[in-house]
């Protein structure tokens, strides 16, 4: 039995427990006592230090050091300071936030209250994606219970700290998961991400200092407060001593395993489990006795691992070494050998073209152009030249080369990049077979008259 | 002084200046292409055309470290030691790709698009774009959508720079324009029932880098490469916004704002923008006419010079209304002419039209209630001639009306030039005040109840037909050139007064201005070559005292 499988769920400890979502159940499992202890014994800077030294990295996709992000808030700001909890969870393949919200909402709330205390936030907004009505009900019920029990509102447990939490519902746009897109939407505006600087910690929601953290990150904060920094650091992959820039990958992680596996589900394991271990030991292996053709390591934005790369550790550093964008949301989607990679890429391009906010030229036009090319390829009018154009779009669109305002373009680019680089033979085969008379064409061809998607 | 290095060239900027890379590069003569940035609007950095490489040079070691990725020039401030690179392959490729991206789904409208010839998409394509199309061929023409009474939208030409949206939010404060839908399907639109209808609406057409927003007044009227541009000043109100008159063959086709940080920044109001049609109104007075026994007879201009003087001299005490439409030079010459006819001529400022109240907009732009461009200038000229009453004020139209009804005044010369083709600036009742005069001279653009009573009707010049100086309500003086010739051989005021003063040769407004500057403390600032954006009269006045 590997270390991973013997790991006793912590973040998911309420799953399967009867009424595990209730306040009583959470209290019974030790919840809210850590909060009271912190409020009584520690000052906010000490709580920031606690989270910083735990090595917790944000679970929303970017993996930025949470404690470090909190230190970007201006000192001695008169306030108000806002904490936004990102429950938009729109990265395709991701569902761990949903499970946390539905099955253990109080864990999230305790983490949120502790984080708000640390950052001196007076108001927290949970920005919840529209498509999660059950999470909405569960969170609102938990918030009501927390107010009733005196863990929210004015002067919490006599500590002098006050916090209000508002549950705010989105309207089904992926870009509202981008932190400044979220803030714009919260303010009632179009979710066009803001240019940075200024960063939200300096000027965020309503022009005030704002921290945006993911739901799972909040749950981790609650667990760090309960079980301690040393416990958190005992799990996962320590920082590489030879690389001073490596902050390590500490703590447990919720892996969303879906796609062509026998047992899809949300599994908790220490950071660093490999894709193969996750699929075989937790997921019961690739389904129907088939082989995996490709595996998405952390949500579709991260790109693809080929079958040969399945021993890549799924920590913050691993997928990058295999040419993927990163760990992302650790949403692992298995694609078996019967799936056409052309279909996959078409689906991916359709998603990003639909969700691109449209304000900056490379993303707005690049996502649209790549979708049209995939449409034309699938309609049997593809050219080999299209693969070069797609690769170029994949390599030039994004925040990392500096050509776009936010990371959606990078997320749109990586599947294109990985798919063309790692599965080029399949693309060429498809194009040659479906368009035997026209695949060599290098001059522009007429556009398809109708765009079936987006 | 902070030093910025642009493509290897060092330039100094002011210690207190806050410049972005585009502005700093301009100082070095390098133009960084951009669509969405505008100095008068918020920075969004969304077009990505201005992506450049930036870095800094260590002040001590001289070592240069560049930011590894491209950065937008519009959102990157410069400071001492900033290094800007605009001509590297990375930057060039990036620009070519942005151009390509914008052209993928752009309608093939150049031959029918007003913007051709002044379109940034065209210009940047030639300068920075790729030679051949790589995207699928999709030839189509743009849809058209009405967004308001004065502006039309060619929907598919839009490149989503959002300048127009930001303008209506930030400068006019009316927020009529919005973006609808998401991604590549985005379009500019208005909310149903809330069309683009504010007094600054025309500015969005100036702002649009492509031919998406069109001015209905100018649509399909003229190809822009035929237009000649003359720097003028708007005569619509006392704000004195700097404008460019765009004309061809003595016909004005449109007015556009000229950037002037002291007056109007980058904007003009619609009233000023469209306030040129009266210049080409068919009912303009184009002949000098004198009332004879059989009604009005045309008089040759050369003859006007002597006959007018004879008539006025014969009449007796003269009163002159110096119109606030006249330039400083014209006003000065008119006063000199009047005093040469009658050394005790009564000089007053002509009728000053007032409409409503001053109207200010969130961006700071203000439309003035005083609908004449040079009352301040005219008053200052009159003061030079001692035309000051006991209360210390220069007499105005009301006082003139009273004076001409007394027995003392026998003749009146009313200069007008108001842009009202129906002559409504002077109603019948007001005009009746001049009934008892022996000689009434009315110099105006159009007939009016006053000109109907005149003994002499002289045609006036429109704002684009004169060169000279106007002083706005804030004591800011601007000199401008003549854009078009007045119709049919008309001698505008400047030329007539020049000849009546007996001066030789062609009317030389610059010379007159210089003479005025040298002979008065009030106008001392008008000496020499003036900057295109004008001068504040008060500066030199303080220096002189």
Q: How many CB atoms lie within 10 A of CB A151?
A: 23
Report whether A404 contacts B48 (CB < 8 A).
yes
The sign one gets for the Cα dihedral A203, A206, A209, A210 is negative
Angle between helices A133-148 and A105-119 (to 10 degrees): 60
pLDDT at A1: 38
Residue B65 lies in a domain: yes
- Among the candidates B62, B87, B112, a domain finishes at B87
Alpha carbon distance B396, B473 (integer Å): 16
Q: How many CB atoms lie within 10 A of CB A155?
A: 10
Q: Please state, in angstroms and as integers, the Cα–Cα distance from residue A390 to each residue in A428, B138, B187, B284, B444, following that order.
A: 13, 19, 26, 64, 68
Alpha carbon distance B482, B467 (integer Å): 5
Beta carbons of B184 and A357 less than 8 Å apart: no
* Chain B partners within 8 Å of A195 (Cβ): 43-45, 72, 75
Beta carbons of A359 and B46 less than 8 Å apart: yes
Beta carbons of A445 and B137 less than 8 Å apart: yes
Residues of chain A in Cβ contact (below 8 Å) with chain B: 173, 190, 195, 353-362, 364-369, 372-373, 376, 389, 396, 400-405, 444-448, 454
Q: How many CB atoms lie within 10 A of CB A158?
A: 10
Alpha carbon distance A255, A275 (integer Å): 10
Q: What is the CATH number of the domain that holds B436?
A: 3.40.50.740
Probe site for chain B from A361, A372, A393, A403 (most B CB atoms < 10 A)? A361
What DSSP character marks residue A72?
T
Beta carbons of A361 and B75 less than 8 Å apart: no
Token pair listed for A428: 């060429």
Can you spell out the DSSP letters for B352-374?
--B-S--EE-TTS-EE-SB--S-
Residues with Cβ within 8 Å of residue B383, at least 6 apart in sequence: B394, B522
Alpha carbon distance B255, B245 (integer Å): 5
Q: B137 to chain A, minimum CA–CA distance in Å?
A: 5
Encode chain B (545 residues) as per-residue pLDDT tens digits.
899 999 999 999 999 999 999 999 999 999 999 999 999 999 999 999 999 999 999 999 999 999 999 999 999 999 999 999 999 999 999 999 999 999 999 999 999 999 999 999 999 999 999 999 999 999 999 999 999 999 999 999 999 999 999 999 999 999 999 999 999 999 999 999 999 999 999 999 999 999 999 999 999 999 999 999 999 999 999 999 999 999 999 999 999 999 999 999 999 999 999 999 999 999 999 999 999 888 899 999 999 999 999 999 999 999 999 999 999 999 999 999 999 999 999 999 999 999 999 999 998 899 999 999 999 999 999 999 999 988 889 999 999 999 999 889 999 999 999 999 998 999 999 999 999 899 999 999 999 999 999 999 999 999 999 999 999 999 999 999 999 999 987 999 999 999 999 999 999 999 999 999 999 999 999 999 999 999 999 876 665 55
Residue B499 lies in a domain: yes
Beta carbons of B183 and A400 less than 8 Å apart: no
What DSSP character marks residue B183?
G
pLDDT at A428: 98
Q: What three-state secondary structure class fits B35?
A: coil
Probe site for chain A from B121, B124, B178, B184 (most A CB atoms < 10 A)? B184
- Among the candidates B57, B87, B117, a domain finishes at B87
Chain B's closest residue to A393, CA to CA, is: B97
Q: Please state, in angstroms and as integers, the Cα–Cα distance from residue B388 to each residue in A32, A56, B200, following that order.
A: 85, 81, 38
What DSSP character marks residue A153?
B
- For chain B, the domain total comes to 2
At which residue do the structure tokens 């007056």 appear?
A: B263
Structural domains of chain A sorted by starting position, each given as residue range(s) with its CATH number in brackets: 23-234 (3.40.50.11540), 250-336 (3.10.20.600), 341-434 (1.20.1440.230)
Nearest to B360 by CA among B459, B239, B204: B239
Q: What three-state secondary structure class fits A268?
A: strand
Residue B351 lies in a domain: yes
Residue among A195, A353, A447 whose CB faces B183 most closely: A353
Residue B254 lies in a domain: no
Alpha carbon distance A151, A164 (integer Å): 10
- Distance between alpha carbon A95 and the CA centroid of its chain, in Å? 10
Alpha carbon distance A451, B254 (integer Å): 41
Nearest to B150 by CA among B301, B21, B269, B10: B269
Beta carbons of B136 and A446 less than 8 Å apart: yes
Beta carbons of B184 and A358 less than 8 Å apart: yes
Residue among A354, A362, A444 whose CB faces B134 most closely: A444
Residues with Cβ within 8 Å of residue B390, at least 6 apart in sequence: none
Alpha carbon distance A330, A327 (integer Å): 6
Q: A191 to chain B, minimum CA–CA distance in Å?
A: 10
Q: What three-state secondary structure class fits B279?
A: helix
Residues A176-202 have pLDDT tens digits of: 999 999 999 999 999 999 999 999 999
Beta carbons of B134 and A389 less than 8 Å apart: yes
Residue B514 lies in a domain: yes
Q: What three-state secondary structure class fits A214?
A: strand
Alpha carbon distance B486, B467 (integer Å): 12
What DSSP character marks residue B420?
-
Token pair listed for A410: 């990078």
What are the backbone dihedrals phi and psi of residue A101, each rounded to the nearest 5 degrees, phi first? -70, -40
Report whether A410 contacts A400 (CB < 8 A).
yes
pLDDT at B63: 95
Q: A173 to chain B, minimum CA–CA distance in Å?
A: 10
Q: B148 to chain A, minimum CA–CA distance in Å?
A: 23
Alpha carbon distance B277, B445 (integer Å): 12
Residue B429 lies in a domain: yes
Q: What is the CATH number of the domain that holds B64?
A: 3.10.20.740
- Residues 86-105, chain B, touching A (beta carbon < 8 A): 93-94, 97-98, 101-102, 104-105
Do strands B228-233 and B242-248 pair parallel, antiparallel, or not at all (unpaired)? antiparallel
What DSSP character marks residue A79?
S
Residues B477-523 have pLDDT tens digits of: 999 999 999 998 799 999 999 999 999 999 999 999 999 999 999 99
Alpha carbon distance A224, B121 (integer Å): 55
Q: Residue B69: give the domain boundaries.
A: 3-87
Chain B's closest residue to A388, CA to CA, is: B134
- Among the candidates B25, B57, B87, a domain finishes at B87
């Amino acid at each position: 039995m590997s270390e991973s499988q013997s790991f006793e769920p912590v973040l998911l400890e309420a799953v399967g427990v009867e009424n595990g979502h209730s306040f009583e159940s959470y209290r019974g499992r030790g919840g809210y006592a850590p909060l009271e202890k912190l409020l009584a014994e520690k000052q906010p800077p000490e709580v920031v230090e606690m989270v910083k030294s735990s090595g917790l990295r944000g679970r929303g996709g970017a993996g930025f050091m949470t404690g470090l992000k909190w230190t970007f808030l201006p000192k001695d700001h008169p306030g108000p300071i806002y904490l936004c909890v990102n429950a938009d969870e729109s990265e395709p393949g991701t569902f761990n936030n949903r499970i946390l919200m539905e099955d253990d909402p109080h864990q999230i709330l305790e983490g949120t209250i502790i984080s708000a205390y640390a950052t001196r936030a007076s108001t927290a907004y949970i920005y919840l994606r529209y498509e999660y009505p059950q999470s909405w009900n569960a969170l609102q019920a938990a918030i009501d219970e927390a107010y009733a029990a005196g863990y929210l509102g004015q002067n919490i447990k006599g500590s002098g700290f006050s916090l209000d939490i508002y549950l705010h519902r989105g309207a089904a746009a992926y870009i509202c998961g981008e932190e400044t897109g979220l803030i714009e939407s919260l303010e009632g505006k179009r979710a066009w991400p803001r240019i940075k600087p200024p960063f939200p910690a300096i000027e965020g929601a309503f022009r005030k200092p704002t921290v945006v953290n993911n739901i799972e990150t909040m749950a981790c904060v609650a667990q760090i407060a309960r079980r301690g920094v040393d416990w958190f650091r005992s799990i996962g992959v320590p920082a590489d001593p030879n690389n001073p820039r490596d902050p390590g990958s500490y703590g447990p992680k919720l892996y969303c395993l879906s796609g062509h596996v026998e047992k899809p589900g949300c599994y908790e394991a220490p950071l660093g489990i490999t894709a193969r271990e996750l699929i075989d030991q937790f997921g019961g292996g690739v389904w129907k006795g088939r082989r995996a053709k490709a595996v998405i390591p952390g949500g579709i934005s991260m790109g693809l691992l080929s079958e040969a790369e399945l021993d890549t550790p799924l920590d913050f550093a691993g997928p990058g070494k295999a040419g993927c964008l990163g760990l992302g949301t650790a949403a692992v989607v298995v694609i078996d050998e019967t799936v056409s990679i052309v279909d996959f890429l078409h689906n991916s391009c359709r998603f990003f073209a639909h969700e691109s906010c449209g304000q900056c030229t490379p993303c707005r036009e690049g996502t649209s152009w790549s979708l049209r090319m995939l449409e034309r390829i699938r309609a049997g009018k593809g050219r080999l030249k299209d693969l070069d154009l797609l690769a170029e779009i994949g390599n030039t669109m994004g925040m990392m080369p500096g050509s776009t305002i936010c990371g959606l373009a990078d997320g749109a680019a990586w599947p294109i990049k990985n798919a063309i680089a790692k599965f080029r033979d399949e693309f060429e085969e498809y194009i040659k077979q479906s368009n035997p008379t026209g695949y060599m064409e290098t001059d522009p061809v007429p556009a398809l008259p109708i765009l079936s998607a987006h | 002084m902070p030093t910025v290095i642009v493509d290897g060239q060092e330039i100094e900027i002011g210690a207190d200046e806050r410049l972005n890379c585009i502005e700093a590069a301009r100082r070095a003569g390098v133009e960084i292409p951009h669509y969405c940035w505008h100095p008068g609007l918020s920075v969004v950095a969304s077009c990505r055309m201005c992506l450049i490489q930036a870095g800094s040079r260590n002040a001590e070691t001289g070592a240069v470290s560049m930011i590894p990725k491209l950065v937008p020039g519009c959102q990157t401030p410069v400071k001492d030691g900033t290094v800007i690179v605009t001509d590297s392959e990375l930057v060039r490729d990036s620009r070519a790709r942005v151009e390509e991206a914008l052209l993928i789904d752009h309608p093939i409208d150049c031959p029918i698009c007003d913007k051709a010839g002044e379109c940034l998409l065209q210009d940047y394509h030639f300068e920075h774009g790729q030679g051949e199309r790589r995207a699928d061929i999709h030839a189509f023409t743009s849809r058209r959508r009405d967004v308001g009474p004065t502006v039309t939208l060619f929907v598919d030409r839009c490149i989503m720079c959002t300048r127009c949206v930001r303008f209506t939010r930030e400068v006019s404060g009316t927020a009529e324009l919005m973006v609808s839908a998401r991604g590549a399907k985005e379009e500019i639109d208005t909310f149903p029932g809330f069309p683009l209808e504010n007094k600054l609406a025309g500015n969005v057409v100036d702002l649009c880098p492509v031919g998406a927003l069109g001015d209905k007044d100018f649509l399909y009227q003229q190809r822009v490469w035929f237009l000649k541009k003359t720097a003028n000043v708007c005569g619509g109100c006392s704000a004195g916004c700097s404008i460019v008159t765009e004309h061809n063959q003595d016909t004005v086709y449109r007015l556009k704002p000229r950037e002037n940080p002291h007056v109007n920044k980058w904007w003009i109001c619609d009233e000023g923008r469209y306030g040129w049609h009266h210049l080409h109104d068919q009912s303009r007075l184009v002949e000098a006419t004198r009332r004879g026994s059989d009604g009005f007879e045309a008089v040759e201009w050369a003859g006007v010079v002597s006959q007018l003087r004879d008539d006025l001299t014969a009449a007796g005490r003269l009163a002159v209304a110096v119109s606030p439409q006249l330039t400083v030079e014209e006003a000065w010459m008119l006063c000199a002419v009047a005093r040469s006819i009658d050394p005790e001529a009564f000089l007053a400022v002509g009728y000053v039209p007032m409409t409503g109240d001053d109207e200010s907009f969130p961006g700071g732009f203000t439309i003035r209630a005083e609908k004449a461009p040079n009352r301040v200038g005219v008053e200052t000229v009159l003061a030079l001639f001692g035309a000051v009453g006991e209360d210390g004020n220069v007499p105005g139209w009301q006082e003139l009306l009273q004076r001409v009804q007394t027995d003392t005044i026998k003749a009146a010369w009313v200069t007008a030039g108001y842009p009202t083709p129906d002559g409504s600036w002077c109603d019948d009742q007001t005009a009746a005040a001049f009934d008892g005069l022996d000689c009434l001279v009315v110099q105006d653009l159009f007939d009016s109840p006053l000109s109907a009573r005149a003994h002499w009707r002289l045609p006036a010049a429109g704002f684009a037909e004169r060169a000279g100086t106007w002083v706005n309500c804030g004591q800011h003086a601007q000199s401008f050139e003549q854009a078009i010739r007045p119709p049919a051989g008309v001698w505008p005021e400047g030329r007539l007064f020049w000849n009546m003063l007996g001066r030789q040769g062609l009317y030389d407004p610059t010379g007159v201005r210089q003479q005025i500057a040298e002979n008065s403390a009030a106008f001392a600032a008008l000496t020499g070559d003036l900057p295109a954006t004008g001068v504040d009269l008060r500066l030199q006045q303080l220096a002189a005292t």
